[in-house]
Structure 1
Amino acid sequence: MNMAARLKDPAAIKLTPTAYMKDRRNRSESGITDKTLNNELTYIRAVYNELYALDQVKYENPLAKVKPLKLQQIELSWLTQDQIQELLDVIRSRSAGANPHLELIVLVCLATGARWSEAENLKPSSVRNRAVTFSNTKNGKVRTVPISQEMEQRLLQHWKTYGPFTSSIGAFRRALEKTTIELPKGQAAHVLRHTFASHFMMNGGNILTLQKILGHSAVTVTMRYAHLSQDHLTEACRLGPSLVQYFA
């Protein structure tokens, strides 16, 4: 592990919060993102916790009290209807030798809010009764999302013609580069999922229903989209303090 080398390969029992946090600070100053550093802390903690649970070590996790770095929440990017059309036009205009799966994977993500990897892993047995079932999910939980009859038929016909989906994220990124769409760094892979969620809320969707569709374990994660709800915007005016007299 790189961290072990940076700390001169100490015995696991001798790793101290002070040494870890000094290394983290140095890496942060060198340009490593806070999110990456938090992920690393999670992984290291998990190793210690597992060893302790299996009675392989007798000491407690030395990093148990180290707090993750506080992340600045960034605004999630999503596509407008015009941008969706532009993206699909670019995909459809590509040469005949282009990835045949790209358009349909994009449509699945837009129709269900699936993560890119979840859509790529779909297979014929995942589609039945006008619904898709995602089994290889981030949190390990299986979830089912309804789809239109047209989507179901197109998926099944596509697999008969072209076989199972293959890795297409590279083709997606190249297609995005050919559009006028500009996204913050790191959001390309999730922009379709954010687009589904954003339009769902703007069209009057329920936040708890969206939580189930997206497969979030906690509604607090889904609440990132709550501000897009029309009810939310209306109530901001209706339920706030009365200010009419101040504009007279």
Structure 2
Amino acid sequence: MKVTELEFYIEDFLTFCQNKNLSSKTIASYEQSLKLFFAYLKKEHEVYTVKQVKTGHIRQYVSFVQARGKYTVVNRESSKQINFPENRTDYKKQVSPITINNYIRNIKVFFNWLQQEGELVKNPVDKISQIKTVRRQKKGINSEEFNRLLEQFDYTKFHGYRNKIIVLLIQDTGMRIGECLDIVVDAFDFKHNMILLTKTKGNKERYVYFSSVMQRELKQYLKFKDRYVETNLLFPTSKGTTLTVHSFEKQLRDAGKNVGIEVHPHQLRNNFARQYLLNGGDFYTLSRILGHSSVTVTEQAYMDLTREEIAKKYQNHSPLSKWRL
């Protein structure tokens, strides 16, 4: 089957992304967004070349997705006979503004790349802005809830003990779950209580740091792990293979349900950042620990402390409470 110009440029762009060593997750996001957008262009507007794409096409696509809802736009109609999207409980439900902004961002990256490559003079994304979103306050997990969560893991079994240590480590370091599950034992520096992360978002190595409490837990766990599996992976399955993010997320979610807590790995990362700031940490250091591209990204992500948390932080730093009057 003949490849259209749009399809050619998508493949070329994805090859460019691979050569830049972007993460597979980022590349997959680009591919999905672009193929869905171009499927819409062909079906609704008979657009087959990049120079035919107008600003209005992008605006209309955003409105189209908002009106149609989740899983109603597909790249190939035949996929419906395999995935049966209409059977999903959230079929046709409203697509979140965050998801739509991700689509817009990915489309903008692609057309900006085309312009840099000299394939476009007039860029259709120049006047495209992201839609306004209402920022939802991140829900924290207090120490009592955290302890109840830990109690749901059966420490006498390998997978239960492993999951407990994963939860503790993310809460103590703020690393991403994908980074956590890729850690090898050789990455640890117990002298300085730090871990070298090599498989990170953006493929930029960085160190994260752990407490003396975590050091004790890790040393005990390593002895336990070595009795069951022979692998350099820190958090393998009982068969010594890599534990997937999806598998751990489900196990964590099930543990949370048992004690009435909705929890996912990224929430633990957020919880680390929140507690770090409340305990007097600064945004610059936190940004480096989390592996953000800039301090601005960190500030935007964690400026939503509750009034009660701000009040508590204030009392710890009030000038008059520190002066002798």
Q: Is TM (by shorter chain) over 0.5?
A: yes
Cα RMSD of the aligned pairs, angstroms, is 2.8
Q: 1:108 and 1:34 mapped to 2: Cα distance?
A: 32
Q: 1:156 and 1:205 mapped to 2: Cα distance?
A: 30
What is residue 199 of structure 1 aligned with on the other side? 275
Matched, 1:63 2:125: yes
Q: 2:151 and 2:187 mapped to 1: Cα distance?
A: 28
The partner residue of 1:146 within 189, 209, 218 is: 209
Matched, 1:83 2:83: no
CA contact (8 A) 2:188 2:195 kept: yes
Letter of the 1:46 partner, please give it: V
SS in 1 for 2:151: helix
CA contact (8 A) 1:204 1:229 kept: no
The verdict on how the C-alpha distance between 1:66 and 1:158 changes in structure 2, with shifts beyond 3 A counting, is farther
Unmatched tracts of structure 1, length 5 or more? 240-248
Unmatched tracts of structure 2, length 5 or more? 1-34, 70-93, 236-242, 321-325
What is residue 208 of structure 1 aligned with on the other side? 284
Q: 1:98 and 1:45 mapped to 2: Cα distance?
A: 43
SS in 1 for 2:203: coil
Q: 2:281 and 2:311 mapped to 1: Cα distance?
A: 9
How far does residue 135 in structure 1 lie from its aligned partner after superposition?
Answer: 2.2
How far does residue 22 in structure 1 lie from its aligned partner after superposition?
Answer: 1.2
What is residue 162 of structure 2 aligned with on the other side? 101
Q: Greater relative contact order (Cα 8 A, min sep 6): structure 1 or 2?
A: 1
| 1:87-125, Cα deviation, whole Å (9 max, x unpaired) | 0001237x8475653222111101101111111111112
TM-score by length of 1: 0.81
Residues 32-41 or 153-162, more deviating: 153-162
How far does residue 65 in structure 1 lie from its aligned partner after superposition?
Answer: 2.2
The verdict on how the C-alpha distance between 1:182 and 1:124 changes in structure 2, with shifts beyond 3 A counting, is closer
Q: 2:311 and 2:204 mapped to 1: Cα distance?
A: 30
Q: Percent identity?
A: 24
Aligned length: 233
The partner residue of 2:198 within 135, 143, 148 is: 135
CA contact (8 A) 1:99 1:171 kept: no
Q: 2:160 and 2:116 mapped to 1: Cα distance?
A: 46
CA contact (8 A) 2:165 2:217 kept: no
Letter of the 2:261 partner, please give it: I
